Amino acid sequence: MPYTLADVLPSVAASFGLGGPNPLGLEPNRDVVVLLIDGLGAELLARHTDVAPTLAAHVTHTLTAGFPATTATSLASLALGAPCATHGVIGYSFALPDDGNLRLLNSLTWRLDAATGVDAREQFPPEVVQPRPSRLQDLAAHGVEVHYVIPAFQAESGLTRAVFRAAGTVHPAKTLDEVRAGILAVAGHSGTRSRFAYAYFPNLDATGHLCGPESEQWLTVLGEVDAFVAGLLTDLPPSCTLLITGDHGMIHADNVIDLDVRGHLQQGVRLIAGEPRVRHVYLERPEALPDVMAAWSGELSTHARVVSREEALDEHWFGPTPPEPVIARRIGDLLAVAKDRTVLVCPEREPLESNLIGHHGAWTSDEQLVPLISSRPPAS
């Protein structure tokens, strides 16, 4: 059974003495920092060990991000220690019921209809959309101090409220120097009370989206991250365990399919959500499913796998246990998952996303696999 992002915080909790499984074999320590490098894929790292020798030398496990391999879903899986079917953040965007209609929620920005739409925090409170407690709340209840080393705007974001949930000390950090200072501030105390910190750095992902993974610009950022980690490993006290992982990898798109200009794919369709590698398609009426499925499968047969919601659930795409009905209804009536390096774009509503070079979300190992990098080897 492969390890997943959802195994990280249960293992951290076990190392702090909370009980439960410790699948990753983490040794007890006073403090733990989990640093998420957005877009750090295991396959990408393995192909560029010359650029990132420190990261490569400290990989202890390879994890699967889970489906879909996208930031909002992965952060929820990490924070809750549970797969998508449990936490219900089923993608980059998805439909929620709204007075008898459906409304698209962008879960990354927590905005309505598009990534730049109206703030959704009042209409769809994050704690209602995702009501389950996080493992950070479990740590806090156990007496562990919770810290965040993150860009300042994320402290009160809808996604943070939905998935991390625990109050904690925020160390605002956008640059690698600021992330370093925040982590060392968390670890550099003389007390006996344990601390846990979640830290985040977005630039590798952003560069991959704009310039392409493995581009010269992307490799420059990877090298900067590696040098930062090398220095951090030298300066961290032995009382702090540093764990580094990613939320997904990335592919370079080379086959763009514009869904907006294919009018026959809109027939019977109420809403298209998700992102260019994974599309959720919501229908005007349930009985339209055979016709819409035939149209989408016929058009995209060589470019994407098109399945019904029931097929995806039967194959446990979103996790090993069936989702509750409220979560199941968030999944599209049908799903289209791009193959190879294809992207399924909707430029009218997603102009920025549709022009990106790097993408993620689907089933390829470049997207799904992320490393777990540790300052301490796991228990034997």
Confidence of residue 100 (pLDDT cuts 50, 70, 90): confident
Of 51, 44, 34, 102, the residue nearest 69 (C-alpha): 44
Which token pair is 376? 């301490």
pLDDT at 180: 98
Residues in the chain: 380
Mean pLDDT score across all residues of the chain:
97
Numbered ranges of CATH 3.30.1360.110 in the chain = 255-355
Of 30, 14, 23, 75, the residue nearest 242 (C-alpha): 30
CATH number for region 5-89+130-251+364-374: 3.40.720.10
Q: Where are the alpha helices (DSSP H) in 16-68?
A: 42-46, 53-57
> Could you tell me if 165 and 79 are in contact, meaning their C-beta atoms sit under 8 angstroms apart?
yes
Give yes or no for residue 165 having a pLDDT over 60: yes
pLDDT at 2: 85
pLDDT at 378: 64
Confidence of residue 377 (pLDDT cuts 50, 70, 90): confident
Mean pLDDT of 246-265: 97
Which token pair is 131? 């009501």
Summarize pLDDT for 300-350 with one digit per residue, the tens. 999 999 999 999 999 999 999 999 999 999 999 999 999 999 999 999 999
What's the CA gap between 271 and 51, in Å, rounded?
43
Is the model more confident about 377 or about 229?
229
pLDDT at 1: 62
How would you label 172-191 residue by residue, b for 16+ Cβ within 10 Å and e otherwise?
ebeebeebbebbbbbbeeee
Mean pLDDT of 243-248: 98
φ and ψ at residue 18, rounded to 5 degrees: -80, -5
Numbered ranges of CATH 3.40.720.10 in the chain = 5-89+130-251+364-374
Of 4, 11, 46, 66, the residue nearest 241 (C-alpha): 11
CATH number for region 255-355: 3.30.1360.110
Mean pLDDT of 148-177: 97
